[in-house]
Amino acid sequence: MQQPGNWFGTATLYIAFALALFWTLSTLSQVENLVPDHEVVYASQLLMHIPPNSTNDAYHVVSVKLDGQSVPLNIYTSTGDSFVASGQCDVSDPKSGCYALDAVFNIDENTMIHHGQKFEADLGGAGRATGQLATLRANISGLEVGNVSAALIDNAMPGSFQNGTFAGILGLGMRTASTQWLQFQKLPLVDTLITQGKLAKPLFSLRFPRLGDPNAMAGVLSLGEIEPEFMVKPIKYSDVVQFSSSLDNVDSLSTAAWAVSLDGLRMNGVEVPVSPGRLRPDTKHVSVIDSGSSNIYLPTSDFKAVVEKFEGKTEVRQSTSQGSTGDEVYFECAEPQSLELKVNGNWYLVDPLDMLVSHSSNSTENGTMMCRGGIGSVDSPKIGDSVLGMPFLRSVFTIYDYMSTDMFSKSPRLGLLSLVDTRLAKSRYADLYTNRLP
């Protein structure tokens, strides 16, 4: 749930912090006669929210101004492409992916569209969207930046924008996972911010909101600096694990996505083996951090081993989600399920509330309420061996650090900090899980 009161206080803190940082930087660099200039913002925080009336927390939006127009964008950490539905996409036909959108980007005579640069995004299960690349001005919570490349979508398959849940995608992935870069050498948003010197540090951080949890924090995307309250926390960093983007050439490693090596899986206290990775000569298992993915996706053998250790009755079914070919699991809603993932020597608990997909319950003939679990099986994800989607990201504060402003001269690293109180996670479940039922 949103906590506007809290947020206001935090926002004030951020402003104070931004000012302090501003003055520290100016003093350090001995800049004389500094004129207050709103172009110079080194850090920016955006409140992320679950769209109004949404029955799940798989999607979350931030509001960004593009050429002065506010549009709600869904955050993706696995793609470097950003795009927004344009007024040319049909919002009234249920067969159009732009159906029910009420905040599209309106193209006018000042919009700089590159007609020769056709853009196509494959959103996995969510469909496909096509349009033209454009160059825009962005205002990200006061952080203003020009020469931002984004595609203006004129045609989208149903599901692309989840019936108007958001009007586009804010791609925070690397340039190696960016069509606009690979095809047209147009930098992703964060690369643009960094190369133009707009950020105090070449990094961003994320935390996500959770439905039905009165103690959940607000969701925040922080650009250029991590939030002050996390600076004193024991964040664990690891280099982004490199991997091959092709099964045929596992020796050719590159920094292809924000990814970690998944070293262990534990379900309700029992460790189950992680299958060897297919994308590195040392067979490390590569897991991609993907805020665009509503579930955690594991290879079938790992998924089965994990599900076997669920408490209570379970039922594995073929996924009914659009575009998905794997399996999903239903379990008794009242049973907390504790999934832990081992990354860089540390175990991270997924809050049992995040293992229950909100508004997914169904009662059996016996009257037992069954809920869908936040994990699914996938045998060939588009990138990596497995996918750490939203159930993981709601439970962990994540930092995405490029490490250098000249981009990729050093290995980027990922910082993780558990947000779950492991002692209370299971006991509070009984009081809270019904908040995630219809």
**Which residues lie across from 256 on neighbouring strands?**
none
The gap from C-alpha 387 to its chain's centroid, in whole angstroms, comes to 11
State in angstroms the smallest separation of the CB of 43 from ligand NAG. Answer: 14
Binding mask 173-212 for ligand NAG (x = CB under 6 A): -----------------------x----------------
Question: Which residue do the tokens 């911010």 mark?
Answer: 193
- Other CB atoms closer than 10 Å to residue 308's CB: what's the count? 12
CA distance 342 to 262: 6
**Which residues lie across from 222 on neighbouring strands?**
45, 205
CA distance 212 to 432: 7
Kindly determine how many residues on this chain lie close enough to bind ligand NAG according to the rule CB under 6 A: 18
Residue type, 300: T
Of the candidates 45, 79, 96, 139, which one interacts with ligand NAG according to CB under 6 A? 139
End-to-end Cα, the chain, rounded Å: 15
Between 141 and 386, whose beta carbon lies closer to ligand NAG? 141
Q: Which residues make Cβ contacts (< 8 Å) with residue 177, sequence separation at least 6?
A: 78, 79, 80, 256, 257, 383
Stretch that binds ligand NAG, among 104-112, 135-143, 233-241, 378-386 (CB under 6 A): 135-143
CA distance 72 to 85: 10
Q: Does 147 bind ligand NAG (CB under 6 A)?
A: yes
What is the DSSP annotation of 235-269? -EEEEPPPB-S-TT-TT--B--SSEEEEEEEEETT
Q: Does 405 bind ligand NAG (CB under 6 A)?
A: no
Within residues 341-380, the interface with ligand NAG by CB under 6 A covers: 362, 364, 366, 368
Within residues 77-116, the interface with ligand NAG by CB under 6 A covers: 94
Of the candidates 74, 132, 141, 261, which one interacts with ligand NAG according to CB under 6 A? 141
Between 183 and 364, whose beta carbon lies closer to ligand NAG? 364
Between 60 and 280, whose beta carbon lies closer to ligand NAG? 60
Token duo for residue 81: 């492409």
Among 295, 316, 305, 284, which residue's Cα sits nearest to residue 385?
284
Within residues 30-59, the interface with ligand NAG by CB under 6 A covers: 52-53
Of the candidates 9, 146, 214, 312, which one interacts with ligand NAG according to CB under 6 A? 146
Between 149 and 275, whose beta carbon lies closer to ligand NAG? 149
Between 87 and 164, whose beta carbon lies closer to ligand NAG? 164
CB 82, CB 168: distance < 8 Å: yes
Of the candidates 162, 338, 377, 398, which one interacts with ligand NAG according to CB under 6 A? 162
State in angstroms the smallest separation of the CB of 353 from ligand NAG. Answer: 20
Between 72 and 277, whose beta carbon lies closer to ligand NAG? 72
Q: Does 312 bind ligand NAG (CB under 6 A)?
A: no
Between 56 and 245, whose beta carbon lies closer to ligand NAG? 56
Please provide residue 427's backbone torsions phi and psi, each rounded to the nearest 5 degrees: -70, -30
State in angstroms the smallest separation of the CB of 110 from ligand NAG. Answer: 14
Between 142 and 214, whose beta carbon lies closer to ligand NAG? 142
Angstrom CA distances, 124 to 362, 381, 418, stand at 26, 9, 28
* Burial class of 109 by CB neighbour count within 10 A (0 to 12, 13 to 18, 19+): exposed
CB 411, CB 253: distance < 8 Å: no
Q: Which residues bind ligand NAG (CB under 6 A)?
A: 52-53, 65, 94, 139, 141-142, 144, 146-147, 162-163, 196, 313, 362, 364, 366, 368
